[in-house]
Amino acid sequence: MTSSNSKPPKRLSEFALIAKLFAPLAAKAEGAFGLTDDAATVRLAPGQELVVTVDALVEGVHFLNSDPAGAIAKKALRVNLSDLAAKGAEPRGYLLALSLPDWVDNDWLTRFASGLGEDQERYGIDLLGGDTTSTPGPLTLSITAMGPVPEGQMLRRAGAKPGDLVFVSGTIGDAGAGLALLKGEGAGLPMNERESLIARYRLPEPRTALGPLLLGIASAALDVSDGLMADLGHIAEVSGVRVVIEAPRIPLSSGLVTLWGKGAGAVARAVTSGDDYEIAFTAPESARAGLVAAARESGVPVHEIGRVEKGAGVVLLDEEGAPIPINRPGYTHF
């Protein structure tokens, strides 16, 4: 773990900070050397390869500085765990690059590290190393997460074939509904449903138990972060196929149905809101039995929502089989 700063000391010294808060997070990882070195090592069993992924989160873009420090830590870790899960990888370790503005104090760092520690326990991943710097701007952090898969088996966006079926884990649109509630919609919604939707927005639940069980079953997979339509669009594009999904089969939570109903408009909204962090994947019909077993073993519900055809793009059909127009498939990227 390294750090750099051109300013006079304000917080705990670098080494005290690392030793006190972060070294315990690396204590179980053999290649982390207790964060006393500049780099970490990762070993693989014979026949494995390492899946690596990085996500950056920026204050004011992905979270607010009023969000609890522990929740920011967990969200940063979980969006990466979701990527690993959708690629079929077991979580192993992560590197943390942290750019800290002046308002971050030792208490904040303590709560941040505590959030990481809780999720490390929950998901079975260890801190391997990192870098801390100061920043004159917003708190910015990036996490590089890694975990093994059998060689050549990583679930990719490419690989969906005409005739495959389309599946998604959990329920879709809850995070979008949670955000809508925070923006003032649905004032009359019962408190338990309200809290459950907002929780889905605030803290993703990466499907780490399901992902690795999809190896050898799924033909293509990704995690749903931009919106189901947009993300299935990535599979369609990279696989060179058309994805057809059926609105009545999109899994909606009871809270979302109470808020938005279950008509075409509600489904269209659910499949175009982001931050679901479910796994969307395709698989041949012959994989159905294996899938049922994987869903049961992981405890994660899986729903069949459509099929793969020749062609391009993604289409959402209503119960009559007519396309539901979608203006904006998901998050706007630059």
Residues 144-203 close enough to bind a copy of itself by CB under 8 A: 144, 146, 149, 151, 154, 156-158
Strands 140-150 and 48-58: antiparallel
DSSP string, 211-228: GGGGTTT-SEEEE-SS-H
Contact 159, 287 (CB under 8 A): no
Out of 90, 118, 131, 195, the residue judged to bind a copy of itself by CB under 8 A: 131
- Residue (11 or 242) nearer to a copy of itself, CB: 11
Task: Check binding of 134 to a copy of itself (CB under 8 A).
Answer: yes
User: C-beta of 85: minimal distance to a copy of itself in Å?
Assistant: 11
Enumerate residues 26-45 that contact a copy of itself by CB under 8 A: 31, 33, 36-44
Q: In this structure, are residues 272 and 324 in contact, taking their beta carbons and an 8 Å threshold?
A: no
Sign (positive/negative) of CA torsion 89, 207, 216, 272?
A: negative
Instruction: Please choose, out of 88-96, 206-214, 295-303, 313-321, the segment that lies near a copy of itself by the rule CB under 8 A.
Output: 88-96
Burial 101-112 (b: 16+ CB within 10 A, else e): eeebeeebbbbb
Cβ–Cβ < 8 Å for 277, 285? no
Site residues for a copy of itself, 53-82, by CB under 8 A, read: 53-62
CB of 274 to a copy of itself, least distance (A): 8
* Nearest approach, Cβ of residue 43 and a copy of itself (Å): 5
Q: What is the C-alpha to C-alpha distance for residues 306 and 251, in angstroms, rounded to an integer?
A: 12
Indicate the residue among 44 and 199 with the shorter CB distance to a copy of itself.
44
Closest distance of CB 177 from a copy of itself, Å = 18
Q: Quick one: tokens of 240?
A: 């060179």
- Among 72, 98, 232, 271, contact with a copy of itself (rule: CB under 8 A): 98
One of 87, 200, 202, 207 touching a copy of itself (CB under 8 A): 87
The footprint of a copy of itself on residues 204-233 (CB under 8 A) is: 222-223, 225-226
CB atoms within 10 A of CB 44: 12
Q: Candidates 188, 320, 321, 334: give the one binding a copy of itself (CB under 8 A).
A: 334
Q: Which helix (H) or strand (E) holds 56?
A: strand 48-58
Residue that is written with structure tokens 């073993």 in the block: 297
Closer to a copy of itself by Cβ: residue 253 or 272? 272
Residue 236, number of CB atoms within 10 A of its CB: 24
Shortest gap between Cβ of 248 and a copy of itself (angstroms)? Answer: 29
Q: Which stretch binds a copy of itself (CB under 8 A): 67-75, 131-139, 186-194, 254-262?
A: 131-139
C-beta closer to a copy of itself: residue 154 or 316: 154
Side chain identity at residue 158, one-letter code = A
Q: Does 92 bind a copy of itself (CB under 8 A)?
A: no
- How far, in Å, CA of 225 to CA of 203, rounded? 12
- State which of residues 95, 283, 295, 315 lies at the interface with a copy of itself (CB under 8 A): 95
Q: 83 near 118, Cβ under 8 Å?
A: no
Expressed in angstroms, the distance from the first to the final Cα of the chain is 32
Of residues 256-315, which lie at the interface with a copy of itself (CB under 8 A)? none
Among residue numbers 9 through 28, which ones bind a copy of itself (CB under 8 A)? 9-15, 17
**Of residues 97 and 215, the one with the C-beta less far from a copy of itself:** 97
Cβ–Cβ < 8 Å for 164, 283: yes
